Amino acid sequence: MFKKHKKMFIIAGIVVLVAALGVFLGIKKNSAQKVDTEIQTARVTRGSISRVLEGSGTLEAIDQYEVTALVSGDVLADFFEEGDMVNKGDVMYKIDDSAIEKNISRAQNSLASSRMNYNESVKSASDLRVLSTATGVVTEVYVKNGDNIQSGGRVCEVINNDNMTLNITFLQQQAGAISVGQAATVELTGEDTTLYGTVKSISSGTLTNNLGASVVTVEISVPNPGGITEATTATAIVGGVACANVGNFEFANSVTVVTKGSGTIRGLNIKKGDRISNGQLIMTLENDTVSNGVQKSALSLSDAELTLENYYDDLDQYNLTAPISGKVVQKTVKAGDKISSNMGSTSMAVIADLSAFKFNMSVDELDITGVEVGQRVTVTADAITDKTFEGVVNNVSIIGTSSNGVTTYPVEILIKNVEGTELIPGMNVTATIVLEEKDNVLLLPVIAVERGNRVTMVDSEDSKEIKTGINDGTMVEIISGLSEGDEVVIKEFQSSNLMDQMRKMGQNRGMMGGGMSGGGAPSGGMSENRMPSGGAPSGGMSGGGMSGGR
């Protein structure tokens, strides 16, 4: 592919140079004998010039994805045909997932069991913290730090003496006038002290007192002013009804704090006579078996969760969806087929995004610094004649490949507007990258510039130095030193053998070596093509120099 372009490029370059020389030098077919004595001249003109790179490559879709199956099973359904357009996320295949559903059910059961074990172990760990179950005063402590205690072991006694409960009886026939919540007047026996309380409860049954009368037991809550104990007795009147007997007091709340777990007592911080609150930490129990059990059950729970999550992830693999939007260019599996993942993933179909095309061309290390992302590219296809396509440099790689002492770098070309064109993936194409272009600049034929960027003016034996810019292999930009219309002598062409001079020029420019980039075109299909963008300007070289007898 590249050799073909390379030969055509050399021939085209020679033809262009011959044509240019014919125009600018004013060479006549019947004047060959005068070449030895004639002096050729060139005139500075104004026009456009560009420097380009040319290379070849093979078209690819802008994006292409292979739909693969990572699971085994029967293909129950497919929802597309080769050539169809699909959107990202569309379901393409349905694979039998009955086996994975069973695994999910087992994993769910395992997770539920692991969660129960974890909750139980956490509860056992919480039981190692011994809390008070009442608010009141500690009347007895049964343990000390360092003791080993079993579940249900007694820790301390706590009583609430802020309130007392008076248990007292009323005659049955009078008790009907008493109700819960009624106010009660309480007189302490043997003291001139009156207290006020509230009826807490009334018994549903009756008792017989020592006088043989039927009585009902009533509980009255009485605030303790500080001197009431369980040995104190009192009488009461409720709603104008007096009690039948003297009643006895008891603490409103008296509890024995016991352990729910077992272990070694640490951090016991109460003593007899201390006042504590309900829920207050009394001590902790040290039990390595329980603590380790929490960690093990937590790990088991995490494993069960991950197992179930993995099965759900696997379930997604049984419904294959389109990873990108595009055209199905290949379909290798259909409904009814059986696939196996024993040997790895199974290719099912290929989707290509044909909204744009790309290809890579290799650029010589001498030219790569002139290539930039965004540069305009003209593309032609071998299979499509008389048509050009617009592209752009999409990426310039900094990773080169060296061969025979020459390094080349891949440059990615992007062609966007391909809809409705005849372009298809796999076509061989040629790209021309415009490295640099200028309009309305001073131009002079390359052969008129002597070594060291010097020129010899007509009617002068001395040469002068000029400053040049870009050149396309035929013309060179004049930045300073000359003006439009200036005429200079072309010393390189004072030979009678024009073709010898052209070969010499071609060798100097690298044309006969396969390219015009200075170092030859690298393998991979790239050459620098320096052709004039606007052609040779009319009157750019003086023909009078050949007929003036100079």
Tens of pLDDT, residue by residue over 238-269, are: 999 999 999 999 988 889 999 999 999 999 98
Q: Which two tokens stand for residue 162?
A: 């802020």
pLDDT for 463: 86
Tens of pLDDT, residue by residue over 351-373, are: 999 999 999 999 999 889 989 99
Amino acid identity, position 139:
T
- 302 Cβ partners below 8 Å, 6+ apart? none
CATH number of 2-57+436-547: 2.40.420.20
For residue 172, pLDDT beyond 60: yes
CA 276 to chain centre: 56
Give the CA radius of gyration of the chain. 53
Instruction: Tell me the pLDDT band of 342, cut-offs 50, 70 and 90.
Output: low
- 495 Cβ partners below 8 Å, 6+ apart? 35, 36, 501
Please name the CATH architecture into which domain 64-93+319-350 falls.
Beta Barrel (2.40)
Tens of pLDDT, residue by residue over 454-464, are: 999 988 878 89
Average pLDDT, the chain: 83
CA 538 to chain centre: 60
Instruction: Tell me the pLDDT band of 547, cut-offs 50, 70 and 90.
Output: very low
Distance of alpha carbon 131 from alpha carbon 123, whole angstroms: 14
Place of tokens 């695994």: 103
Distance of alpha carbon 384 from alpha carbon 145, whole angstroms: 96
Greater confidence (493 vs 405) lies with 405
Instruction: Tell me the pLDDT band of 232, cut-offs 50, 70 and 90.
Output: very high
Residue ranges covered by each domain of the chain: 2-57+436-547, 64-93+319-350, 102-127+289-314, 131-286
Q: Which two tokens stand for residue 423?
A: 């372009």
Instruction: Tell me the pLDDT band of 343, cut-offs 50, 70 and 90.
Output: low
Tens of pLDDT, residue by residue over 388-434, are: 999 999 999 999 999 999 999 999 999 998 888 889 999 999 999 98
For residue 17, pLDDT beyond 80: no
Percent of the chain surpassing pLDDT 90: 67
pLDDT for 522: 34
Q: Which two tokens stand for residue 79?
A: 């929802």
Distance of alpha carbon 305 from alpha carbon 316, whole angstroms: 17
Instruction: Tell me the pLDDT band of 126, cut-offs 50, 70 and 90.
Output: very high
